[in-house]
């Protein structure tokens, strides 16, 4: 499932898989056909890199323009009717936005630079994929481990929370 989400006018292509429930957020500079294709191709390559095959993509009418690019790859593009949306991706986007708001409310800033907002989104996606999904395909492996093959490490990922002030010496 795929959709475009905006946070403070910053567009992201959001995807989630129906069975695995792995989610992605890709920053895009605009909504042109070439940008959408390039972003989706990166996501498809991530799945293919670990042995998963994408057969169907569900999306809104704004993704109709990429049909000619997806069909040669054997991907069936299923587009919703006019004024309809894909409920599961819409719900996923709401969850991501709620998590992002929770992080932003812990930060001591009144105005957030665009780069910080982007990093908040990547942090939300990282942590959403680090845990099991109740309807997932595996009972012990995280979504991130299943799709990317990488595990989280306490010393690397859990020492500091997002937005913590640190002093770094080179």
Boundaries of every domain in the chain: 2-158
How are the residues of the chain apportioned to helix, strand and coil, as percentages rounded to the nearest 5? Answer: 45, 15, 40
pTM higher than the cut 0.75: yes
Report helix, strand or coil for 164: coil
pLDDT tens for each residue of 57-74: 999 988 999 999 999 999
pLDDT value of residue 144: 79
Cross-sheet strand order for the sheet of 2-7 = 23-27, 10-16, 2-7, 56-59, 76-79
Architecture (CATH level 2) of domain 2-158: 2-Layer Sandwich (3.30)
Query: Which of 24, 32, 33 lies closest to 5, judged by CA?
Result: 24
- For residues 111 and 94, the answer to whether their CB atoms sit within 8 Å is no
Region 128-146: what's the mean pLDDT? 77
Task: Report pLDDT for 1.
Answer: 92
What is the rounded distance in angstroms from the CA atom of residue 39 to the CA atom of residue 28? 7
Q: Are 73 and 44 spatial neighbours (Cβ–Cβ below 8 Å)?
A: yes
- Parallel/antiparallel/unpaired status of strands 2-7 and 23-27: unpaired
Closest alpha carbon to 85 in 24, 14, 28, 3: 3
What is the rounded distance in angstroms from the CA atom of residue 98 to the CA atom of residue 120? 12
Counting Cα atoms < 13 Å in the Cβ hemisphere of 52 gives 19
Confidence grade of residue 147 (pLDDT, cut at 50, 70, 90): confident
* Gap between the Cα atoms of 130 and 63, Å rounded: 29
DSSP 70: H
- Please report, rounded to a whole number, the percentage of residues in the chain having pLDDT higher than 90: 56
């Amino acid at each position: 499932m795929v959709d475009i989400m905006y946070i403070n006018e910053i567009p992201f292509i959001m995807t989630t898989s129906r069975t695995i429930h792995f989610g992605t957020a890709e920053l895009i500079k605009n909504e042109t056909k070439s940008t959408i294709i390039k972003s989706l191709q990166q996501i498809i390559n991530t799945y293919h890199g670990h042995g998963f095959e994408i057969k169907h993509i569900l999306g809104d009418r704004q993704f109709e323009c990429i049909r000619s690019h997806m069909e040669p790859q054997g991907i069936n593009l299923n587009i919703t009717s006019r004024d309809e949306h894909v409920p599961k991706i819409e719900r996923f986007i709401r969850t991501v936005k709620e998590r992002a708001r929770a992080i932003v409310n812990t930060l001591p800033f009144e105005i957030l630079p665009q780069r910080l907002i982007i990093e908040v989104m990547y942090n939300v996606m990282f942590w959403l994929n680090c845990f099991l999904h109740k309807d997932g395909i595996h009972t012990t492996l995280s979504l991130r481990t299943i799709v990317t093959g990488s595990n989280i490490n306490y010393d690397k990922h859990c020492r500091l929370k997002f937005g913590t002030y640190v002093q770094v010496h080179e």
